[in-house]
Amino acid sequence: MNKILNINLGGYAITIDDDAYEYLQAYLDNIRRRFSESEGRDEILEDIEARLGEIITGSMGSRTIVMLPDVEAAVNIMGKPEDFGSDETTSSSKNTHAKSGASTRSIRTGKRLYRDEEDAVVGGVCSGLTAYFGMTDPVWMRLIFVFLAFASFGFWLPAYILMWILVPPAKSAADRLAMRGEPINVDNIAKEVEEGFDRIGKKVNDIGSDSGKKAANNAQNVVNTGVTAIGQIFAFMIRFIVKFAGIIAILIAIGLFLGFGGAWITGIWALITAAPYVDYFSPFSGWVTWLGFANLFFLIGLPLAGLAMFFSRLLFKTRTPSWAGASMTFFWVINLVSAFALSSIAAREYRRSSTLSKNIDLSGITSDTIRIEGIRIDNDYTENFRDSKIFIDGWELEMNENIDIRVRRSNSGKFECTQSVTSRGRSREDALENANQTLFSIETADNKLRVPTGYAIQKGKKWKGQYIKVYIGVPDGKYIVFDNNIYYRAGAEMDEYADDNDGNYISRRPNQVFQMTRQGLVCTECPHLGDRNYRSERHYERFILEGDLKAEIMKGDEFRVRIEGDSKLVESVTTGEKITFTTNGKITNGAVRVIIETPVFTSLYALKTDEIVIRGFDEGQASITAREGSKIKAYLDVRDHLDIVLSGKSSLDLTGEGDDMDVNLTDGATLEAANWRANDAVISASDGSKARVYVKHNATIIGDATNNVRVDGGAEIKHTRD
């Protein structure tokens, strides 16, 4: 029968039987005698007792009474005093450690992160990180922190403070050993305590030889850390496998940390940049606005800080204060409630909308043409003012945005102008008042209408979503011009443009004269079909060419037409996707050449033309028709079906490839298609027509005895008269 005792072992309350107690007491007495002459004997014994208590309680599981095997197992881990040699050996070891010093000793990366308060400048965070990552001198870590503090606009300062709060200090010798990843046993605890006294003595006396430290330290490292090459490789493989998940966690932690840092830097820049504008855009005044910013910051920052704490515990085994999680959650909820309250109040400031309209007197404009000029809000006309979108000028906020100009038909026979300012507010009356306080003024001078490209809000007033529209009415037969500073803000409904305007819109054509016709607005000075260098976003894919002209149709990204020679001899007509160029029977002697660029080619009809060249297309289907002596050269691929109709001594020289070809030749027409590789073909030839084709699979020839059709390519040939 054994007695049960309750003892305090290094701060751990333990229930122990008398056998285990006697064994433990004898062990501690042996330790006490072993270090009786050591200067730090009391601290050594306290640290050993604390470590024994930690080991014993950690191995108990669900049991409540400590027995002899539990104590023996703990003693085996800690080691017995006799395992570490005689007093002389220990003394020699102590002196060697004292001489080696802490600054040049090689430290292995550990498993626990602590703050090293014995080598601290502020809180010991940098010294603790130095020990954890195996660095030899904390100066480098401190320099890194100083650099990051400046580079991150102060983000690193709260990060340091957060680590100061969350990372516990290394209070005992066992903590300092765990901080460096060294085994926590009797010998190492004794050495750590003795070195602590030696470090204190070194700081006071400032003595020691650097060369002696290095020699002793190197000799000790050889004895303590020497392993074989095979053992190192094996240990590396084991660590790699076991810590793979840890690497993933570290990558996630780094990503979160960088994201938090980036958000901090962005937020600081945003605050610095936006500070002058806050009074104009915030629906609140004074401290309430900054309360909203603080709510937003903590709503984002606290969850990120919580994730940082989680990964800190996971990776570095830090101990988070018990109050930290609950306090952060409570503070986050407070900020969430505050943010919802402020958001609901702000939403009320924008729930109603009103529009204030005003007619501008244009009776002073007597010309048939009105010119619209863009000016700054303060009427200071410059070429580059539209580069700045929002800025503060003196005692007002200027917004070079939210201006829309619309051109429409005037039924009064006179130029008209109406401006409307739309704004929001708590009520319709409040919104109307906000619109009325918006600074926007249109001026007239001679035959010019000077329109600001933005509006202003006086200091003390608020931006409430103001939006301005200017409507300009143009009578039939009269003209309007927009200058370089305003054209991109102008437009018209599509039915206000004539169908033959060819995509020439006011918003794309500065300083061009637009006329209001019965069909709608037309750009009178823009190139139109048939004009030199005509181009359009609208493209045509079916072409009719008639008369004495040459032409080239080529692949291009947009539709463009260039006429070389006298363009007056060529007339153009458009119908849907079809465009016609004709000389109307005029003789040009080959002096007119039409060059067409188009994204798509579908068909060509040529009548009495000179040479026509088609190049660069790859289409699904296409057709080529030539009559009355027209001459065509085509370089194109047709994946599905190509139709060819030639008559009246017309000719086609074809190069490319395709699947199916259907050919109809009459009245002495000629097809040279040996360089166009078809899979299948049907060739109908009569009246002395000639053809040479290349067909891979099947060729059907329909015609009378007067035709001359040659098939290359090894196809199976079938002749028929039907």
Read off the pTM: 0.50
| Dihedral (CA of 666, 669, 675, 676) sign | negative
User: Lowest mean pLDDT: which of 326-340, 358-372, 416-430, 676-690?
Assistant: 326-340
pLDDT confidence of residue 172 = 72
Length of the chain: 722
With vertex at residue 38, the alpha carbon angle to CA 169 and CA 197, rounded to the nearest 5 degrees, is 40
Strand partners for 634:
614, 654
Q: Where are the beta strands (DSSP E) in 326-395?
A: 352-359, 369-375, 390-393
Exposed, middle or buried: residue 344 (CB in 10 Å: 0-12, 13-18, 19+)? exposed
How do residues 102-144 score in pLDDT, each as one tens digit? 333 334 444 677 787 777 777 788 888 887 777 777 777 877 8
In sequence order, the 6+-apart residues with CB closer than 8 A to the CB of 430 are 352
User: Strands 593-598 and 603-607: what pairing?
Assistant: unpaired
pLDDT confidence of residue 42 = 74
Q: Per residue in 431-455, is it b (16+ CB within 10 Å) or e — as a string? A: bbbbbebbbbebebeebbbbbbbbb
pLDDT at residue 213 greater than cutoff 70:
no
pLDDT at residue 292 greater than cutoff 90:
no
| Per-residue confidence band for 612, with pLDDT thresholds at 50, 70 and 90 | very high
pLDDT confidence of residue 91 = 40
| Per-residue confidence band for 89, with pLDDT thresholds at 50, 70 and 90 | very low
Where does 396-498 have alpha helices with state H?
428-436
CA–CA separation, 143 vs 287, rounded Å?
37
Where does 372-489 have alpha helices with state H?
428-436
Q: Per residue in 390-427, is it b (16+ CB within 10 Å) or e — as a string? A: eeeeeebbbbbebbebbbbbbeeeebbbbbebbbbbee
| Per-residue confidence band for 146, with pLDDT thresholds at 50, 70 and 90 | confident
CA–CA separation, 102 vs 91, rounded Å?
18
pLDDT at residue 241 greater than cutoff 50:
yes
pLDDT at residue 211 greater than cutoff 50:
no
How do residues 6-62 score in pLDDT, each as one tens digit? 888 877 888 888 888 888 888 888 877 777 766 666 777 777 888 788 888 878 777
pLDDT confidence of residue 147 = 77
